[in-house]
Structure 1
Amino acid sequence: MQDVQSRGDVRGIAIQRVGIKDAHLPFLIKTKDGGFQQVLACIRFTVALPSEYKGTHMSRFLEILMPWSQKPVAEPEIDKMLAEALDHLDAKSAEVELSFKYFVDKTAPVSGKKSVLDLDCCFTGRKSRGGELEFQLGVDVPFTSLCPCSKEISQYGAHNQRSVARIQLRFKSGVDCIYIEDLAALIEKQGSSPIYPLLKREDEKFVTEAAYENPKFVEDILRDVVLNLRELEGLAWFSVECENYESIHNHSAFAAHEETLV
């Protein structure tokens, strides 16, 4: 049969990214304990298309993804996946993004009740022919924040809200990326208090009082996150967005920062 995609094109426009988007597949994500967690991944998988080709072969993206969806995946597997794309699609560069919900274990601070907290996570890999993998980890970490101004000026109480820090990280070549579990634990400590899916009354009292004793503006949280990320060995670049879903306003408080480390 005719291979229409491989026909020539004379318009002289190279396409930087072409492929599939919003493909959904079950994937196995490696965990810190050496096991894996099954997730539902939303995938964008693309390659660069030279100007002389009419189109890419869309079916080959799924042909590459299907076997990898059956194996535990982290940074090394993303590298191999992209190498296959470069080879099978005869491309100069390839990129894949896996977005998924990942669950971390949580223990209530007083009752010790066990639960799991869902985190929005993303693996992004970029690779050029003959080059090294550029791997990026994204994790959204929720927590509680309590307003220092409200505490200072109020006769009693202080307004608080659920907040989130959206973290993106890239490590230097040869340095392993941090585990999702460790990054989440590090980031949630920078808020006024962690959050827990399951709390009994004694736990609720504990976290309410803990947040009251640790008031932070969105600027405070962001700066504390930045200081802690700077301490991660081998980190090459990071970006942070902090958002407080204000309880006394119909808008959020927001702060953002990014750095390239030498």
Structure 2
Amino acid sequence: MNALTLPDIAAQASRQALPLEWVGMCGIALPVVFEGQRLSAKADAGVSLDNGEARGIHMSRLYLALETLEHESLSPALLRNVLQRFLDSHDGLSNAAYLRIHADLLLNRPALVSPLAGWKTYPISIEARLENTVFHVELKIEVPYSSTCPCSAALSRQLIQQQFIDDFANHPLQHADVLAWLGSSKGIIATPHSQRSTAHLQLHLDDFLDELPLIAVINDAEAALGTAVQTAVKRADEQAFALANGQNLMFCEDAARRLNLALKRSPGIRAFHLRVVHAESLHAHDAVAESRWNGVIR
């Protein structure tokens, strides 16, 4: 008895001839490798359907082409290779291929003073596109940090000054008395408000890059802000963190400008869009600032 041929409905002609810009799958679970670290990721894989007569694409071919990501470290070359496999498997159907990878990058970060260290996650997305031999990659990175409001700090200092005037108005100033006052609850009668904040970075990479500069960009961003959130800490680290916040007072506008300048100095970035969000502790709403750079000569 002859085996029946399995039907291929996708190969049938479409009843309505119309090209489609993107067809594929979203949320594919798979492991990826980056800098020797195996990450749990979700991938969106797709191609254009330029042949409007075709009813559909071969999604299983896209799925199988993703297998390479399990064994090789993420790089622009690897991403291009996967996208080329998408197109080769859809010859005559598609001229453009797309791949988005979403994952959490785990980095071990040292404490500010003590020998402690701990792991911190950075949500990342890698978006790659290959269309008519033109290839480009974009990175999206979220960097958490702390921000202390300059206005709140100034108002707090004024209240402390007023309390000092009230407490020493009719008393001669003695070094020991002032030192004791500064160490008491009266010496810190008001504190500035701070909040956990997030920088959302979207980067368009240069075409010549051999590596994805994820860690370098994170390091540059945290250095520019000066107040990266911490993991494991001792009291000395907490004190150093308080000092860092006091020396890096910033509105969301300040943070956006710092990041703009830092990213312009980072090699391999052709253009970027950044968005900083300060989750206000004073208000029930967030303070937000955005900035773009479109590749003007450095």
Aligned residue-pair number: 256
**Uncovered stretches (5+) of structure 2, i.e. residues with no partner:** 1-5, 160-189
1:11-51, Cα deviation, whole Å (9 max, x unpaired): 2321111101011111112x2xxxx1100111100100121
Post-superposition, which runs of at least 4 consecutive aligned residues in structure 1 deviate over 3 A? 175-178
Separation in 2, partners of 1:181, 1:192: 16
How far 1:186 moved relative to its partner? 0.9
1:153 aligns with one of 155, 158, 178: 155
Q: TM-score, normalised by structure 2?
A: 0.82
Q: What is residue 220 of structure 1 aligned with on the other side?
A: 254
Share of identical aligned residues, percent? 25
| SS class of match (1:189) | helix
Return closer, same or farther for 1:194/1:178 CA change in 2, 3 Å cut-off.
same
Distance in 1 of aligned mates of 2:227 and 2:206: 31
**Aligned partner of 1:52: which letter?**
E
Does the 8 A contact of 1:245 with 1:252 survive in 2?
yes
* Change over 3 Å in CA distance of 1:196–1:124 after alignment to 2: same
The 1:226–1:178 alpha-carbon spacing in structure 2 relative to 1, beyond 3 Å, is farther
Give the number of the structure whose alpha-carbon radius of gyration is greater: 2
Matched residue type, 2:230: Y
* Higher percent of residues as helix: 2
1:8 and 2:13 matched? yes
What is the CA deviation profile of residues 56-92 of structure 1, one whole-angstrom value per residue up to 9, with x for unaligned ones? 1111121111233222222110010000001012220
CA distance in 2, matches of 1:72, 1:146: 38
> Cα RMSD (Å) of the superposition?
1.5
Q: What secondary structure sits across from 1:204 in the alignment?
A: helix
Who is 2:60 aligned against? 59
1:70 alignment partner AA: H
TM-score, length-scaled by structure 1: 0.93
2:284 aligned residue: 250
Corresponding residue SS for 1:73:
coil
Correspondence list, 1:225-236, <5 A: 225-236=259-270
**Matched-pair contact (CA < 8 Å) for 1:103–1:116:** yes
Partner SS state of residue 55, structure 1: coil
What is the CA-CA distance between 1:234 and the residue it aligns to? 4.1
- Aligned partner of 2:174 in structure 1 is none
Unpaired runs of at least 5, structure 1: none
